[in-house]
Structure 1
Amino acid sequence: MRTLNLGILAHIDAGKTSLTERLLYAAGVIDEVGSVDAGSTQTDSLALERQRGITIRSAVVAFTVGDTAVNLIDTPGHPDFIAEVERVLSVLDGAVLVVSAVEGVQAQTRVLMRTLRRLRIPTLIFVNKLDRAGADLDAVTGQLAIRLTPRVVPLGGAVRQGTRDAAFRTFTEADDGFGARLAETLADGDDALLADYVEHPDGVTHRRLLRSLARQSRSARVHPVFAGSAITGAGIDELTAGIVRLLPSTPVSDDGAGGPPEGSVFKVERGPAGEKIAYVRMAAGTLRTRDRLAAGKVTAISVFDDGGARPGTEVSAGRIAKVWGLGGVRVGDHLAKAEAGDAHAGDAAQPHFAPPTLETVVVPRRARDRGALHAALAQLAEQDPLIDLRQDDLRREVSVSLYGEVQKEVVQATLEAEYGIGVDFRESTTIHVERVTGTGEAVELIQQDGNPFLAGVGLRVDPAPDRDGVTFGIEIELGSLPPAFLRAIDETVHETLRQGLHGWDVPDCRVTLVRSQYWPRQSHSHATFDKSMSSTAGDFRLLTPLVLMTALARAGTRVQEPVHRFELELPADCLGQVLPALARLRAVPGAPAPTASGYLLAGDLPAAHAHELQQQLPALTRGEGVLETRFDRYQPVPGPPPERPRTDHDPLHRDEYLLHVVRRV
């Protein structure tokens, strides 16, 4: 037996959930094909998904083809829920990218394919909706080669497309020109095939071409193209055979079963009783009930089998399972036995997609729901860590990070339906960051310069390259400061830098401990601890923000805004209207490039204006403009830097800070 973890990805409304239903039906897992419109599909299990007819959370189902067990993961198509796709990518063996035969390649299609290619995930392309009026397989295939990758291999043609009787006919050796086209495409990735094809074009057999196609497809060097209709079932048998033949699967064996279990968590949800359930893809070993991990003790396991998850006692390498009992688990954790290491040991994977660039304050309609709202949002943040819950205790407000307005509506509906909490949102604002521009140093010692804490700390702040994160180092003599105090400084540095000089996150810098001082533990003659004479970790936690923010102020920061890269296709006669609109939105387009139907504009656009441009586009281009935007980088904000209200006691204002924290001490 072999296993294959397969992702279904697409732009919204391309039909991937319907394709999932059809694959399950063809495999004999379900007796009737569910409908997205009727809310009867297997993978859209949330009430909100059924009401809206969109996928919001990734879902896992399973079916078997021959000797291959396929774990199929249906993912959201709306760009506001790209974080769900982000988490699934790390557990995939292969993918099917669904493209509509009517709408063709769309903005999200390009984002997904670009990421799949960068991660070298073997990918088949399925052109769906051949039965719809306006379907044009040849035109879409041309778009695939131009807008996605030239390494696409069409494996068939459409028959009676645009009608209910549309079908997919697989090319054979007898089809004129198919062998030559296949050989030319495959020869680019197969040196031996290229050499033989150049010497003897007619000597390369069709069987050899199919073997090379399978090898190159499994290594993500080419992308075979199938077509059909998820509604009628056309082309589904050919796609199913292609999934097994052209995507890599893992043999299930006992190799490594005796070793420690290792796996990764790509989804977390809550059960009916509020219990935490982790979706785990096993990488090695075998995980069993009663195994003790750093995140908790495994109390139950369900392994995905034909249709869905079935209770079991263990899950082996290559499989996907739902695991109960891991109360401390988070999305992205790497699981291992407690004695083998930390539950989330190892470096966190670099994100594949852009971070959210919007945030909004969530306001409960009833004041008495404030506490419940924070608890509910905390649970939603478990399922989607990029929500990035931000608590402002001073103003008694909670804010969340978002990708777009649709996600805001979903959060609102979820809080109402699942937690009984009605909320409203303030206007979304753009999330900025602060970059350190120089080097700054500050020192405060015990009983000097008005320092009320029994701690001495000296810190230096230096800039770091983008995406290096915040790193903490020491230049003091090893062993000169107890580990508990060192850990307190390190943790406080990371927490404090979530709000820089203007209130924005400081994502990349190096902080170095250059001085330290403490009073050893002192006791009275009767051996009772005297806090007034002994340093504690609390002293270091309270002093560090003062020293760090002074050093940061001396180093200096500059507020930067997120910038998107945009590509805009528009009719030729609309260029005169679009260019002034782009200027008003602070966009910087390049020179217009002529296309067959008009112009292609590419350039940079502040993320704050991306939604506004999307709204204006239909009026500017008679509804014919096509806009694609993607996060590209951060760049300095022109003019006065925007300020973000602080959520702490503001160590930038020493007297105010000490008034609050010393009173607590």
Structure 2
Amino acid sequence: MGANVFRHSLDHVRNLGILAHVDAGKTTVTERMLFLTGMTHKTGEVHDGTTVTDFDPQERERGITIFAAAVACEWNDHHFTVIDTPGHVDFSDEVERSLRVLDGAVAVFDAVAGVEPQSESVWRRADRYGVPRIAFVNKMDRVGADFTAAVESIRDRLHPVALPVQLPMGVEDGFTGVVDLVRLRALTWVAGALCVGPIPEQLAEVARKARFELEEAVAERHSGALEEFYAHSGLSDATLASALRALTLMGEAVVVLCGAAYRDIGVESLLDAVVDYLPSPLDRPPVRGSGFESAADPAEPLAALVFKVQATGTGRLTFVRVYAGTLVKGAQLRDTGSGRMERIGRILRVQADRHEELEQAVAGQIVAVIGPKQARAGATLCAPESSVLLEPPVVTEPVMSVALEARTSAETERLTTALARMADEDPSLVVRTDPESGQTLLSGVGELHLEVAVEKIRRERGIAVTVGRPQVAYRETVLRGVSGFRYRYAKQNGGQGQFADLVIDVEPIAVDTERTDGAVDFEFRSTVVGGRVPAEYVRAVEAGCRDALADGPLGGHQVLGVRVTLTDGSTHPVDSSERSFRLGGRAALREALRGSEMALLEPLLELTVTAPEESVGAILGDIAARRGRVLDSVIRGSTVVVTATAPLAEVFGYATRLRSRTQGRGTFTSRPLGYDRAPSR
């Protein structure tokens, strides 16, 4: 593709993400895609630190994806923008922001482990945004690989209609290719080269039966296919492929393929499946925003969503998805949320850490721009005369903090600037000052999340910092509230004063303990009659109550699970205002909470521990000692997989403890599970 021309029609565009649990092989799949499409001339390897998408030094050292990376490539005259997303739960916000702007996704699963905790988490996030998916069961060459079991785990844990369109040929080391059930042919790979031929005789009957079951499953869910199925006792290849695409786009089925990306088996057919089954921008529903609805039309007024901000040595990169209109160099755009104007200096087609300049970007494209100074992830950019506001991605709530301090006073200001830039890049990182100690606190999603952030400050900014012990982000909730609590807010400082008279009831409501997106369980209502408190003041009281939820009476933690009812009040003809009722509402709820019975909530994690079977006793005992609760224990060959819940506060340092109890052979993954009542302290 020429640097200044986007020559593909929108129906030949695919914006897709690669999603999976850590170590399922996402980055290896991406690398093979880039090699086969001619974007690279040599396949990079994760273990060698030579991959295109894992270009950050920490990613290469740790052997994991930390930052979502976008790359562009072409296959069969289709233009792909591929985003390789992290698999570790601590970086799930990178996945969230990517899914918000993608049209489709490839979910990669380990053929031995099947559905793992983080693969379940990213699947649910894709459900939230209605992103159509296809599934790729990777690592079919591993000992213990089982395609049928992997498909069943997808059905059992993720609950889609999973439709295998391939059958593996051979198992483990003998895995050489797949039977294509849609076109009834054998695809084998010899020294990485694809060979297409007839189905081997010994697999012909199995393939015929699997093809009929696939046709039957499709016909049950697609009316056009059903007619042909009954008229001709089966489906043609074209009808089957068309129906599979329709079911995928509607989210009513998930096509399942298999392969072994590390051995270059199955990736060509995966690329074909992206073309055949995943949507183009034209196949997606019109994007909706505040006072806005548009299909992917370059002629419409511009609407673009910022989903990622990245500081580089050459400037600030702002990644955008253009939903409508045409983005051109030099344009002045409005950041709707802040009202600021931003200028587009350059438009770049992104190839991970390399860039190619474009003259313009049209609806349906994902590009990076240089020029915007302050637009953050989630911002809407539109024409100056417009006021379009698109739904931003959900931001994951931080669950732990560390105190940071520059080792020299001369570097304190540089540290403050570095933290502000990091929070600008990653909205799930929150920087605040502890009101009691005056320390700078950096809050994030997990230990690794914070560890990577601190290391980035040390390496990229050259700042020596001292890091305190991790602290858990507790929450507070109401067990028993108060009724008829009266609060009079009155201030006189010369001139017009401030007056608000309020009567409120405070009561507990159920807390969504599994919520991790930072939303607060809070309800407000008013039963005031006779206009004793005007409607605009009622809204101000609600805003003030929301302000008060930021710091509860037990320890200054955010308050969840409370309903406030404004039952009565009065005003002053001169001194009452919206501001006075907002301040009064905040002060009233704070005082009412001090008189309520409160409880502390602590964040929980779900742990999935994999270790040798002989270590199971030590593992279960250690989990119990950490106030954990075992949910399940499954033996797979010579290993045991234990699923448990435990308070986050008890899991600090667990990796070291697990290694010592299993002679270095045990591993674990975790994911947030919401909040639960903390024991009395």
Same fold (TM over 0.5): yes
Of residues 557, 571, 580 in structure 2, which corresponds to 1:504? 557
Does the aligned pair in 1 maintain the 2:89–2:670 contact within 8 Å? no
* Aligned counterparts of 2:79 and 2:34: Cα–Cα separation in 1: 12
Structure 1 counterpart SS, 2:49: coil
* Aligned counterparts of 2:305 and 2:422: Cα–Cα separation in 1: 20
Q: Give the equivalent residue in structure 1 for 2:477.
A: 435
User: In structure 1, what residue type is equivalent to 2:63?
Assistant: G
Does the aligned pair in 1 maintain the 2:70–2:351 contact within 8 Å? no
* Aligned counterparts of 1:499 and 1:122: Cα–Cα separation in 2: 40
Unaligned stretches of 5+ residues in structure 2: 1-8, 185-203, 284-293, 512-518
Q: Give the equivalent residue in structure 2 for 1:106.
A: 116
- 1:330 shift after superposition: 1.8
* Aligned counterparts of 1:229 and 1:575: Cα–Cα separation in 2: 31
Of residues 69, 79, 89 in structure 1, which corresponds to 2:79? 69
Of residues 383, 387, 405 in structure 2, which corresponds to 1:341? 387
Q: Give the equivalent residue in structure 1 for 2:488.
A: 444
- When the two chains are superposed, the root-mean-square deviation of aligned CA atoms in Å is 4.3
Structure 2 counterpart SS, 1:632: strand
Of residues 310, 316, 339 in structure 1, which corresponds to 2:362? 316
User: In structure 2, what residue type is equivalent to 1:399?
Assistant: L
Q: Give the equivalent residue in structure 2 for 1:170.
A: 180
Q: CA deviation digits over 1:218-259, x for unaligned, max 9?
A: 223222222334344322211111101011112499974443
1:33 paired with 2:43, answer yes
Does the aligned pair in 1 maintain the 2:132–2:251 contact within 8 Å? yes
- 1:420 shift after superposition: 1.2
User: In structure 2, what residue type is equivalent to 1:45?
Assistant: F
Does the aligned pair in 1 maintain the 2:509–2:563 contact within 8 Å? yes
Of residues 239, 249, 261 in structure 2, which corresponds to 1:208? 239
Does the aligned pair in 1 maintain the 2:306–2:377 contact within 8 Å? yes
| Residue correspondence of structure 1 range 599-638 to structure 2 within 5 A | 604-610=645-651, 629-638=670-679
Q: CA deviation digits over 1:358-403, x for unaligned, max 9?
A: 2222232334323322221111111111112122255331112233
* Aligned counterparts of 2:553 and 2:601: Cα–Cα separation in 1: 13
- 1:433 shift after superposition: 1.0
Structure 2 counterpart SS, 1:499: coil
- 1:267 shift after superposition: 0.6
Q: Give the equivalent residue in structure 1 for 2:273.
A: 242
Of residues 74, 93, 98 in structure 2, which corresponds to 1:83? 93
- 1:627 shift after superposition: 6.1
- 1:607 shift after superposition: 3.2
Q: Give the equivalent residue in structure 2 for 1:179.
A: 211
Q: CA deviation digits over 1:473-523, x for unaligned, max 9?
A: 88699999999x999987765454321112101245466786576896xxx
Q: Give the equivalent residue in structure 2 for 1:277.
A: 317
Does the aligned pair in 2 maintain the 1:454–1:536 contact within 8 Å? no
| Residue correspondence of structure 1 range 439-588 to structure 2 within 5 A | 439=482, 441-446=485-490, 454-458=497-501, 460=504, 462=506, 463=508, 466=511, 467=519, 494-502=546-554, 503-507=556-560, 509=562, 546-565=587-606, 580-588=621-629
Does the aligned pair in 2 maintain the 1:276–1:325 contact within 8 Å? yes
Structure 2 counterpart SS, 1:373: helix
Does the aligned pair in 1 maintain the 2:305–2:323 contact within 8 Å? yes
Does the aligned pair in 1 maintain the 2:166–2:178 contact within 8 Å? yes
Does the aligned pair in 1 maintain the 2:296–2:323 contact within 8 Å? no
Of residues 368, 371, 374 in structure 2, which corresponds to 1:328? 374
Does the aligned pair in 2 maintain the 1:468–1:509 contact within 8 Å? no
Structure 1 residues 598 and 129, CA gap change in structure 2 (3 angstroms) = closer
| Residue correspondence of structure 1 range 189-208 to structure 2 within 5 A | 189-190=221-222, 193=225, 202-208=233-239
1:287 paired with 2:327, answer yes
- 1:633 shift after superposition: 3.4
Does the aligned pair in 2 maintain the 1:476–1:515 contact within 8 Å? no
Structure 1 residues 473 and 128, CA gap change in structure 2 (3 angstroms) = same
Q: CA deviation digits over 1:103-132, x for unaligned, max 9?
A: 554332232234334544222222334455
Structure 2 counterpart SS, 1:446: strand
Does the aligned pair in 2 maintain the 1:295–1:327 contact within 8 Å? no
* Aligned counterparts of 2:457 and 2:529: Cα–Cα separation in 1: 49
| Residue correspondence of structure 1 range 386-425 to structure 2 within 5 A | 386-392=428-434, 394-425=436-467
* Aligned counterparts of 2:29 and 2:550: Cα–Cα separation in 1: 43
Does the aligned pair in 2 maintain the 1:455–1:519 contact within 8 Å? no
Q: CA deviation digits over 1:415-463, x for unaligned, max 9?
A: 0111111223222222111123424645334369x99993223454645
User: In structure 1, what residue type is equivalent to 2:450?
Assistant: K
Does the aligned pair in 2 maintain the 1:566–1:629 contact within 8 Å? yes
- 1:546 shift after superposition: 4.3
Structure 1 residues 501 and 167, CA gap change in structure 2 (3 angstroms) = same
User: In structure 1, what residue type is equivalent to 2:134?
Assistant: L
* Aligned counterparts of 1:134 and 1:591: Cα–Cα separation in 2: 21
* Aligned counterparts of 2:95 and 2:30: Cα–Cα separation in 1: 16
Q: Give the equivalent residue in structure 2 for 1:304.
A: 349
* Aligned counterparts of 1:299 and 1:516: Cα–Cα separation in 2: 52
Structure 1 residues 26 and 215, CA gap change in structure 2 (3 angstroms) = same
* Aligned counterparts of 2:384 and 2:78: Cα–Cα separation in 1: 32
* Aligned counterparts of 1:591 and 1:104: Cα–Cα separation in 2: 16
Does the aligned pair in 2 maintain the 1:454–1:518 contact within 8 Å? no
- 1:337 shift after superposition: 3.4
- 1:102 shift after superposition: 5.2
Greater shift in the superposed pair: 89-98 or 492-501: 492-501
* Aligned counterparts of 1:383 and 1:279: Cα–Cα separation in 2: 11
Does the aligned pair in 1 maintain the 2:137–2:256 contact within 8 Å? yes
Report the TM-score, using the length of structure 1 for normalisation. Answer: 0.79
Structure 1 residues 189 and 371, CA gap change in structure 2 (3 angstroms) = same
* Aligned counterparts of 1:399 and 1:6: Cα–Cα separation in 2: 36
* Aligned counterparts of 1:597 and 1:221: Cα–Cα separation in 2: 37
Unaligned stretches of 5+ residues in structure 1: 521-533, 641-665
- 1:60 shift after superposition: 1.0
Structure 2 counterpart SS, 1:639: coil
Q: Give the equivalent residue in structure 1 for 2:251.
A: 220
Q: CA deviation digits over 1:195-225, x for unaligned, max 9?
A: 775x578344344323222221222322222
Across the two proteins, how many residue pairs are aligned to each other?
A: 619
* Aligned counterparts of 1:452 and 1:394: Cα–Cα separation in 2: 34
Structure 1 residues 149 and 497, CA gap change in structure 2 (3 angstroms) = closer
Higher strand share: 2
- 1:84 shift after superposition: 0.9
Does the aligned pair in 2 maintain the 1:434–1:557 contact within 8 Å? yes
Does the aligned pair in 2 maintain the 1:277–1:324 contact within 8 Å? yes
Structure 1 residues 295 and 5, CA gap change in structure 2 (3 angstroms) = farther
Q: Give the equivalent residue in structure 1 for 2:196.
A: none
User: In structure 2, what residue type is equivalent to 1:239?
Assistant: L
Does the aligned pair in 2 maintain the 1:445–1:517 contact within 8 Å? no
Structure 1 residues 292 and 210, CA gap change in structure 2 (3 angstroms) = closer
- 1:85 shift after superposition: 0.8
Report the TM-score, using the length of structure 2 for normalisation. Answer: 0.77
